[in-house]
């Protein structure tokens, strides 16, 4: 048993379990991210998933022949990842490690780095941005998502309990997030404002757990929920922002 690095995140992952299957592309929770990731996977064979949680995306990528390395501060989460990888016979394409990204660097260079819903947890996001940059090879791409300051539920003060439970230290505007990355030397490739108030409510309220379970399991419900959420996104604005940023390659002499 590895030592506990963070009691907060062990508690957060106390219900995290090994998975029985790899998600499909229309999974409600990940469908937009899978679209964005898929658009960046051409010739990218090594992926780093920082704050991988239960390893859902790492294992999806491993099933597609990509080598995925997942790291997370939670021992419980990584144990679940390892069990799932063996259960689904994906251990050759997926490896997992308990690691506190805020304090320890990850060895190696990667073609794609995922940093999803993580920066808002870290005390020094500038150091995090630097580490992500260093972990990318030339022309490598980082996909970064965070909750936004303009989220309707946040502005109404309805996310305080969940923000505290999950260890959120801050939120970002699109300008703040892209500025952070540009300062490190990244080139911004794409930005997305996403997640309407409907989807945000499902993730921030325990009443949403059961509907989310069905939406992630059944495509017809996923399609319906996505349709509803897109309407709320247009009417009330976004709750999440996503940035695709590239590390420029070295110029040839």
Q: For 6, phi and psi rounded to 5 degrees?
A: -150, 105
- Give me the DSSP letters along 126-168: HHHHHHHHHHEEEEEEEEEEEEBTT-HHHHTT-SHHHHHHTT-
| SS3 label, residue 172 | strand
Residues in the chain: 253
CA 215 to chain centre: 19
Q: What is the pLDDT of residues 220-252, one digit of tens each?
A: 999 999 999 999 999 999 999 999 999 998 764
Domains of the chain: 7-148+167-195+239-246 (3.40.50.150)
Q: What is the pLDDT of residues 203-220, one digit of tens each?
A: 998 889 999 999 999 999
- H helix count then E strand count, the chain: 11, 7
Q: What is the pLDDT of residue 253?
A: 42
| CA 14, 215, 48, 178 torsion-angle sign | negative
Contact 30/212 with Cβ under 8 angstroms?
no
Q: What is the pLDDT of residues 153-176, one digit of tens each?
A: 999 999 998 899 889 999 999 999
Residue given tokens 């490690």 in the structure block? 97
Q: What is the pLDDT of residue 2?
A: 56
**How far apart (Å, rounded) are the C-alpha atoms in residues 41 and 45?**
7
Instruction: Read off the pTM.
Output: 0.93
Task: State mean pLDDT over 106-130.
Answer: 95
Q: Which helix (DSSP H) or strand (DSSP E) does residue 249 occupy?
A: none
**How far apart (Å, rounded) are the C-alpha atoms in residues 199 and 190?**
22
- Given pLDDT bands bounded at 50, 70 and 90, which one contains residue 36? very high
Ranges of H-type helices in 40-90: 56-63, 75-87
Average pLDDT of the residues of the chain: 93
């Amino acid at each position: 048993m590895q030592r506990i690095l963070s009691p907060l995140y062990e508690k957060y992952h106390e219900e995290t379990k090994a998975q029985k299957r790899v998600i499909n592309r229309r999974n409600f929770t990940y469908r937009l991210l899978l679209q964005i990731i898929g658009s960046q996977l051409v010739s990218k064979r090594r992926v780093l998933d920082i704050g991988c949680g239960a390893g859902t995306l790492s294992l999806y990528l491993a099933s597609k022949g990509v080598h995925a390395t997942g790291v997370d501060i939670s021992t419980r989460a990584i144990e679940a990842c390892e069990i799932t990888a063996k259960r689904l016979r994906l251990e050759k394409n997926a490896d997992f490690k308990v690691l506190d990204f805020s304090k320890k660097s990850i060895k190696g260079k990667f073609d794609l780095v995922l940093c999803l819903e993580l920066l808002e947890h870290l005390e020094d996001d500038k150091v995090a941005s630097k580490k992500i940059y260093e972990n990318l090879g030339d022309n490598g791409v980082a996909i970064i998502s965070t909750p936004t300051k303009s989220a309707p539920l946040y502005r109404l003060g309805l996310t305080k309990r969940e923000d505290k439970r999950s260890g959120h230290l801050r939120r970002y505007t699109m300008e703040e997030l892209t500025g952070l990355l540009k300062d490190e030397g990244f080139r911004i490739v794409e930005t997305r404002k996403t997640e309407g108030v409907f989807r945000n409510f499902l993730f921030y309220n325990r009443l949403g757990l059961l509907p989310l379970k069905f939406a992630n399991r059944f495509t017809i419900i996923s399609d319906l929920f996505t349709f509803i959420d897109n309407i709320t996104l247009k009417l009330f604005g976004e709750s999440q922002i996503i940035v695709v940023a590239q590390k420029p390659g070295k110029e040839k002499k």
